[in-house]
Chains A and B, each alone.
Chain A
Amino acid sequence: MKRLFLSIVTFVTILSFTASCYYDNEEALYPSLSSSCDTTTVTFSGKIAPMLANSCLSCHSNAVAAAAGNNIRLQDYADVFSKTAAIAGSIKHTGTYSPMPKNGGQLNDCSITLFDIWVRAGAPNN
């Protein structure tokens, strides 16, 4: 019995050495993105702000948010930073937040992935 358990311990130890830690996620490991989606340098000024400007600011700019965007402002970094979780929920249509953009199709996978990457990096103001 002791030998059996010792061999199990040995097996588990060997297993843990041979198949060691990986930092994979299914999105990155099995990308459904087109090769044109550049995920290498994701910055607020370079990727996130233009995306917001294209898809969100028609209702959520500082000027019109009160009238058209339920007073949710997405123009300034600080406003976006404080709402990352809500934005992620909205653009992914998870059901917990009002799905966005309103009256339009969901953002493309590339935009959503870029937003995720930026949030995961700590949503830096860069």
Chain B
Amino acid sequence: MRRLSLAFLFFLIPSGIFAQDDLMDLLNQNSDPEINYTTATFKSTRVLNGHSIEKMPPGQLDFRISHRFGTINSGAYEFFGLDQSNVHFSLEYGILNWLMVGVGRGTYEKTFDGFAKFTLLRQSSGLKVMPVSVSFLSTIAATSVRWSDTSRTNYFSSRLSYVNQLLIARKISPSISIQLAPTFVHRNIVATELDPNDLYALGAGGRLKLTKRISLNAEYYYMFNPKSYMSQQVYNPLSVGIDIETGGHVFQLMFTNSLAMIEKGFIGETTGSWGKGDIHFGFNISRVFTLKK
């Protein structure tokens, strides 16, 4: 046994010397260029209403509680909208490095929703230069309000709507990030002949970091479908707010003209107008739990 270990040691010595050489080489040569992936383009998985390119890392669960209150122009009696509230709860989880899924339930039309977000490209510098980060978001939403007319044949398909969205973002500097989001919304049923089932929109969002923990966010969705033909007067959603990061929480406080918190609702069903003062105060709270190291 002893002889064996001595022989083993004998074999180790020269290899140890070679290794020494390698280490010296490593010290002498310039360090290899690496891929530096950009992180924290946005603080949270939402810009304000809409998704950002960010996703939960694998094994992390995000519990989100969001509120949108009534309109500010409803007056002092309604305490400027704070007497009414619309909530959306969701559980969102990172499964893989490039995949996150979530399920949620919102007051708006009593909607259940689910989504999957795929990371396609990551902004990077160094060995591999990629100017933008790109994610793809696919959602499905099912309303659960009681049918307005139970005497007619109602179809489950009429409850469903789908959203597909490409999220393209760039962190221009450590404090400024911007995002563009071409979006396609399909609604299985609409009210009248004049309302399109398919909606096309382009979202634009940005983040301006004010301090280490606070950033100013803004988000706008432009809908390409002509709005004057629709049976209901709708507006493009505009949201302005701030992100406050405190350890495991991210608070987002905002003003928006949209009541809904899912894409299908705030694109194409925003009936409030900033010009008329139909502005809702709202917040998102995100609490992250690490389920798996």
Query: Do the beta carbons of B95 and A5 come within 8 Å of each other?
Result: yes
Query: Do the beta carbons of A9 and B101 come within 8 Å of each other?
Result: yes
Instruction: List the B side residues contacting A8 at CB < 8 Å.
Output: 101, 103, 114
How many A-B residue pairs have C-beta atoms within 8 angstroms? Tell me.
80
Q: Which of B127-135, B153-161, B206-214, B279-287 contacts its partner?
A: B153-161
Main secondary structure of the interface of B (DSSP, over half): mixed
- The residue from A22, A27, A92 contacting B157, defined by CB atoms under 8 A apart: A22
Query: Do the beta carbons of B291 and A1 come within 8 Å of each other?
Result: yes
**Total interface residues on A, using CB and 8 Å?**
31
Instruction: List the A side residues contacting B93 at CB < 8 Å.
Output: 1, 5
Smallest beta-carbon distance A95→chain B, Å: 10
Smallest beta-carbon distance A23→chain B, Å: 5
- The residue from B149, B157, B228 contacting A19, defined by CB atoms under 8 A apart: B157
Q: Which of B249-293 contact A (CB under 8 A)?
A: 291-292
- The residue from B95, B152, B193 contacting A116, defined by CB atoms under 8 A apart: B193
Most chain A CB neighbours (cut-off 10 Å) among B188, B194, B228? B194
Known: A5-B93, A8-B103, A12-B116. A25 touches B197 (CB 8 A): yes
Give the interface size bracket for B toward A.
20 to 34
Q: Which of A1-24 contact B (CB under 8 A)?
A: 1-2, 5-6, 8-9, 12, 15-16, 19, 21-24
Smallest beta-carbon distance B27→chain A, Å: 42
A65 within 8 A of B: no
Query: Do the beta carbons of A88 and B194 come within 8 Å of each other?
Result: yes
Query: Do the beta carbons of A29 and B103 come within 8 Å of each other?
Result: no
Query: Do the beta carbons of A19 and B160 come within 8 Å of each other?
Result: yes
Q: How far is the CA of A21 from the CA of B103 in the complex (A)?
A: 21
Known: A9-B116, A25-B195. A96 touches B157 (CB 8 A): no
Closest to A1 in B: B291
B26 within 8 A of A: no
Known: A6-B95, A9-B116. A23 touches B229 (CB 8 A): no
B87 within 8 A of A: no
Q: How far is the CA of A23 from the CA of B140 in the complex (A)?
A: 16
Chain A residues within CB distance 8 Å of chain B: 1-2, 5-6, 8-9, 12, 15-16, 19, 21-30, 84-85, 88, 92, 94, 96, 113, 116-117, 119-120
Can you spell out 16 A-B residue pairs with CB atoms less than 8 angstroms apart? A1-B93, A5-B101, A9-B95, A9-B116, A22-B155, A22-B189, A23-B197, A24-B197, A25-B192, A27-B193, A28-B193, A29-B189, A84-B229, A88-B194, A116-B193, A119-B194
Chain B residues within CB distance 8 Å of chain A: 61, 93, 95, 101, 103, 114, 116, 140, 149, 152, 155-158, 160, 162, 186, 188-195, 197, 228-229, 231, 233, 291-292
In the complex, besides A16-B162, A116-B194, 18 extra interface pairs with C-beta distance below 8 angstroms are A8-B101, A9-B95, A19-B157, A21-B188, A22-B157, A22-B158, A22-B188, A24-B197, A25-B190, A26-B190, A26-B192, A27-B191, A29-B158, A84-B229, A85-B228, A88-B194, A94-B231, A120-B229
